[in-house]
Chains A and B, each alone.
Chain A
Amino acid sequence: MKFLRGRFENVDWPACAVLPVFMLAALPFMNVPTWLTLTIAGAAMGMMLFLMASGLSLIFGLMDVITFAHGAFISLGAYLAVEVARALPGLIADPSWSAALLVLAAALALAIVVTGAVGWLFEAVIIRRVYGSHLRQILITVGGLIVAQELIIVFWGANPIPLQKPAAMRGSIVIAGAAIEVYRLVAVALGLVICIALQFVLARTRLGLVVRAGVENIEMVEALGFRVRRLFVGVFVAGTALAGVGGVMWGFYQGLVTPAIGPEMMILVFIILIIGGMGSIGGSLVAAILVGLMTNYSGFLAPKLALGSNILLMVAVLLWRPRGLFPLVKS
């Protein structure tokens, strides 16, 4: 019991209750199959949003860097999925799960390598010069985003490019009377795997321990002998690679890839960061699922409100918790 008390005595129960309460609050307004469909769809969308937001959350939490160029890495991930689909048309059309998983794995691996490498270059050439100055970070990364978007147009053109999901991941299955898209289940599974992996690294490894300490007090981490600059590079690369993964999943989900596919998501990504508590990975997960659910519930219940619903959600959370649901402690 003492062990359990130690584990749970610091849990912020009101913040943890937000997600289940929000889900249950929507139930009286629709029948159970519809609620189940919308909830799973919202959770899947939330997981994809989490993939995009978690990288930025990590970058902001440790490095105190706000980068609007994150949207470009999401776009790049989506276009890399296009390239994989073009290179493997036989596997895309193959109805077997092994072929579908192979296509997805290839797209994710390519996105991780390429967006990670571009992220490394971006940190070295641009971000390194603007540490400690949010205004300069915003200005230079907005500039970087514009340049990246133009470069994407140079390579892939300005026209939308269709991107088919692998055959086995198309269509829906019916569970308890609710029709659920197979791809959404895949997105939920991948999101959970990445979330668990991130939490494992952060909670159980020495690297994670240094990152968590660095989020609180970078100077002290340096005084303990850790080279924070190298850690910054690693975190930025990991953050951009996660954006690439989010881009792949979002690209397949949308079915149409445009140069604006990433930048369009940045409003939701920032809403997630603000709701979750800037820099908190766990907060980003809860906030991403909240935003996914809100998008789906409001789209069904009040379509005219759908566009602004997430902003209303953010305002409501901030009125209650001005620093977000799970704010980070910084020294």
Chain B
Amino acid sequence: MSDILLSLSGVHTHIGSYHILHGVDLSVRRGKVTMLLGRNGAGKTTTLRTIMGLWRASAGAIALDGRAITDAATPDIARMGVAYVPETMGIFSQLTVRENMTLATANGRFDETRLEETFGFFPVLKTKWNDRAGLLSGGQKQMLAIARAIIERRRLLVVDEPTKGLAPAIIDHLIEAMNRLKQAQTTILLVEQNFHMARSVGDDVAVMDDGVIVHRGAMADLAADEALQQRLLGLNLASHQ
């Protein structure tokens, strides 16, 4: 079995007349957390949406576990075990928490053990089980979005900026949850602007700029190299402690 679960080779994506991705090469190792970092507009979200088939790759190849998914439809990619948490969270606000979670199950029924594990990550969801999801706070919605992604055993979690707009305490809770998922050998591709989060959970890192990957390596190496961070991300780490 290959070490690489997801690979993108020379992926280009056009949205209308705009050429967004200019040949993205990216590998996601099995059982590891790969961070995808970059400035706003670098193409991170487009990369995730292209992986999910929500936007078509105009050139290049995407493979999941060695199987080509470049032209696969979104539902088929999801059925192959890829869970997606979009930047907008994708919560169905008119449905209850339970209904949101039910939609993510394969046959409408919960595996009780898995459900209790998920409540272990996010206990607040148990108390809000029959509440309308639209009434949850921003942090609770993000927890629901991630809980929905992990309620079934998945091969890959694709998560887009889960900390966006959240309070520091909630971010710490999410970091803890991500680390527990990591300990359970879950493979995660995580787009993040919050460097504290990236440094806390990432094993590998890829940095994007202008629609291409400009840096690949270990997250620990990037976290240790402030000059590299400054060059790649324009970051002053002191402001992200």
Contacts and interface: CB of A to CB of B under 8 A. Distances in A.
Is B a genuine binding partner of A?
yes
5 contacts: A209-B102, A216-B93, A223-B54, A226-B75, A228-B75
Contacts of A220: 86, 90, 92
A187 B54 CA distance: 45
Interface in A317-331: 329, 331
A96 interface: no
B94 A329 contact: yes
Interface of A: 6, 10, 206, 209-210, 212-213, 215-217, 219-228, 329, 331
A213 B84 CA distance: 16
Interface stretch (B129-137, B193-201, B202-210, B225-233): B129-137
A228 B103 CA distance: 13
Q: How large is the interface on B (under 10, 10 to 19, 20 to 34, 35 or more residues)?
A: 20 to 34
Given A10-B132, A219-B54, A223-B84, A212 B92 contact: yes
- Cβ-closest 6 pairs across A and B: A220-B90, A225-B78, A222-B74, A223-B84, A213-B92, A206-B108
A227 B72 CA distance: 12
Given A10-B132, A213-B103, A224 B95 contact: no
Nearest to A221: B103
A18 B90 CA distance: 33
Contact of A217 (B52, B73, B90, B104): B90
Contact of A225 (B79, B86, B99, B131): B79
B161 to A, nearest CB: 16
B40 interface: no
Contacts, number: 66
A221 B90 CA distance: 9
A216 B94 contact: yes
B90 A331 contact: yes
A209 B99 contact: yes
B9 interface: no
B18 to A, nearest CB: 18
Given A212-B95, A213-B103, 20 more contacts: A6-B131, A206-B102, A212-B92, A212-B99, A216-B95, A217-B90, A217-B92, A219-B54, A222-B54, A222-B75, A223-B74, A223-B84, A224-B103, A224-B104, A224-B148, A225-B78, A225-B79, A329-B94, A331-B88, A331-B92
Contacts of B90: 217, 219-220, 223, 331
A223 B95 contact: no
A130 B70 CA distance: 25
Interface string B101-133: 011101010000000000000000000001110
Contacts of B131: 6
A206 B158 CA distance: 25
A222 to B, nearest CB: 4
Contacts of B84: 223
